[in-house]
């Protein structure tokens, strides 16, 4: 089976039938996205790979009982949010603090680390919900419907939050 | 939905952000932790088997102890005794006189003080003085109580 052509639901159903390769395909499909999101949400961005591993480990344990009430990516996204929340709480900080995000970049950082740090700096002053919308809609290129499902809100709310976020970032970033 | 956003963008920041990829250690770490999770699942199964076996053995021991206790001789009940009594009328029942009954304690008798004598009607009745000095004549029906 060509995993690249299969939908997320088909991959999960194959995994539920015992096909471990389907799970590998699912991981390869979303590992970059989950890693990037974790890099933005975690107070300590260096732990983003740990967070991504934890997200997919929970998927490995829970997807056999997945009932398809939501899309698999919605489940992965919310699990990533929960994992980052738990990891941030271990450091006794707010999940997405408006201030205090580590935006400084180490001297030997690569281009990817610099890009992530710039995005973190850009969204650091936004409220939590507006940050989510900006990241999902603009940076991750999710549709309005996908963003609403991931955030657990209506599509109108997504549009309103995006409008407010763009207004807040006006002057700092014109996208 | 694919891993990398498909919409092209002119914004350099968004383009650079989308180029960020997870390090190779993420997939390798996931595979290792998934295998470790599978290994951990076998240990609870063994523990459950040991616990179940212990319960079975304990149940067998308790059953044997109960049976041994039930087999031990116990005092017969009244119903069992009654069933053992002879029902044949020709069989002589034990005489009641042969039964030894416990002695009944005798109650102490109270001595009668100043017993009144028995008198015939018309005789000079003994005069008894009442508390007010008036002589009271006993009635003709009064008799001495026999002890």
pLDDT in single tens digits along all 147 residues of chain B: 445 555 666 688 899 999 999 888 888 888 888 888 777 766 666 777 788 888 888 898 999 888 888 877 666 677 776 776 666 666 666 665 555 555 666 666 676 666 666 555 555 544 544 444 444 454 555 444 444
Strand (E) or helix (H) holding A167:
helix A155-169
Average pLDDT over residues A8-19: 92
Q: Which of B7, B19, B26 is best to mutate for the A interface (most A CBs within 10 A)?
A: B26
Q: Which of A35-39, A88-92, A168-172, B78-82 is least confident?
A: B78-82
- What pLDDT does A95 receive? 52
- Answer whether B18's CB lies under 8 Å from A112's CB: no
The CA-atom distances, in angstroms, between A56 and each of A24, A49, A149 are 10, 11, 20
Taking alpha carbons only, the member of A63, A74, A55, A66 closest to residue A149 is: A74
Out of B6, B14, B26, name the one closest to residue A52 (CB).
B26
The helix/strand/coil state of B101 is coil
| A73–B33 CB contact, under 8 Å | no
CB < 8 Å to A73, chain B = 1
Compute the nearest-CA separation of B18 from chain A (Å).
Answer: 7
Compute the nearest-CA separation of A94 from chain B (Å).
Answer: 24
Residue A58 reports pLDDT greater than 80: yes
Average pLDDT across chain A, whole number? 86
| A32–B3 CB contact, under 8 Å | yes
- What pLDDT does A4 receive? 78
ipTM at complex level: 0.84
Q: Which residues contact B26 (CB under 8 A, 6 or more apart)?
A: A31, A35, A49, A52, A53, A56
Out of A29, A52, A114, name the one closest to residue B2 (CB).
A29
Average pLDDT over residues A11-35: 92
Q: Is B4 on the interface with A (CB under 8 A)?
A: yes
Q: Which of A78-87, A108-117, B27-36 is most confident?
A: A78-87
The helix/strand/coil state of B129 is strand
Higher pLDDT, residue A128 or A91: A128
Distance CA B5, CA B7 (A): 6
- What pLDDT does A45 receive? 80
Compute the nearest-CA separation of B49 from chain A (Å).
Answer: 23
For B36, name the nearest residue in chain A, comparing CA atoms only. Answer: A57
Cβ-based burial of B33 (10 A; exposed 0-12, middle 13-18, buried ≥19) = middle
Model pTM score: 0.61
Average pLDDT over residues A151-171: 92
- What pLDDT does B141 receive? 52
Q: Which residues contact A142 (CB under 8 A, 6 or more apart)?
A: A136, A150, B1
For A139, name the nearest residue in chain B, comparing CA atoms only. Answer: B14
- What pLDDT does A132 receive? 93
Out of A39, A53, A175, name the one closest to residue B29 (CB).
A53
- What pLDDT does A91 receive? 73
Average pLDDT over residues A19-40: 92
| B13–A173 CB contact, under 8 Å | yes
Out of B11, B21, B23, name the one closest to residue A175 (CB).
B11
């Amino acid at each position: 089976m060509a995993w690249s052509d299969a939908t997320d639901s088909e991959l999960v159903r194959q995994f539920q039938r015992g096909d471990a390769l389907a799970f590998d395909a699912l991981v390869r499909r979303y590992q970059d996205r989950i890693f990037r999101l974790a890099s933005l949400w975690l107070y300590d961005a260096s732990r983003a790979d740990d967070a991504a591993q934890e997200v997919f480990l929970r998927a490995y344990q829970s997807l056999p009982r997945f009932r398809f009430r939501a899309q698999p990516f919605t489940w992965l996204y919310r699990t990533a949010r929960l994992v980052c929340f738990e990891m941030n709480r271990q450091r006794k900080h707010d999940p997405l603090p408006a201030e205090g995000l580590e935006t400084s970049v180490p001297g030997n950082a690569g281009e990817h680390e610099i890009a992530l740090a710039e995005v973190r700096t850009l969204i650091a002053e936004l409220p939590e919900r507006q940050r989510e919308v900006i990241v999902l809609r603009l940076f991750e290129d999710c549709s309005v419907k996908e963003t609403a499902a991931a955030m657990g809100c209506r599509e109108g709310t997504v549009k309103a939050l995006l409008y407010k976020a763009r207004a807040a970032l006006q002057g700092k970033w014109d996208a | 939905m694919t891993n990398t956003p498909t919409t092209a963008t002119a914004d350099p920041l968004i383009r650079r952000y989308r180029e960020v990829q997870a390090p190779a250690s993420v997939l390798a770490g996931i595979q290792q932790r998934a295998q470790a999770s599978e290994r951990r699942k076998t240990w609870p199964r063994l523990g459950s088997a040991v616990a179940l076996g212990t319960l079975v053995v304990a149940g067998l021991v308790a059953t044997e102890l109960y049976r041994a206790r039930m087999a031990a001789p116990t005092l017969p009940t009244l119903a069992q005794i009654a069933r053992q009594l002879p029902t044949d009328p020709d069989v002589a029942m034990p005489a009641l006189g042969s039964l030894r009954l416990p002695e009944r304690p005798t109650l102490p008798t109270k001595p009668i003080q100043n017993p009144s004598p028995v008198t015939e009607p018309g005789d000079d009745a003994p005069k008894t003085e009442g508390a007010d000095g008036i002589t009271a004549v006993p009635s003709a029906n009064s008799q001495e109580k026999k002890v």
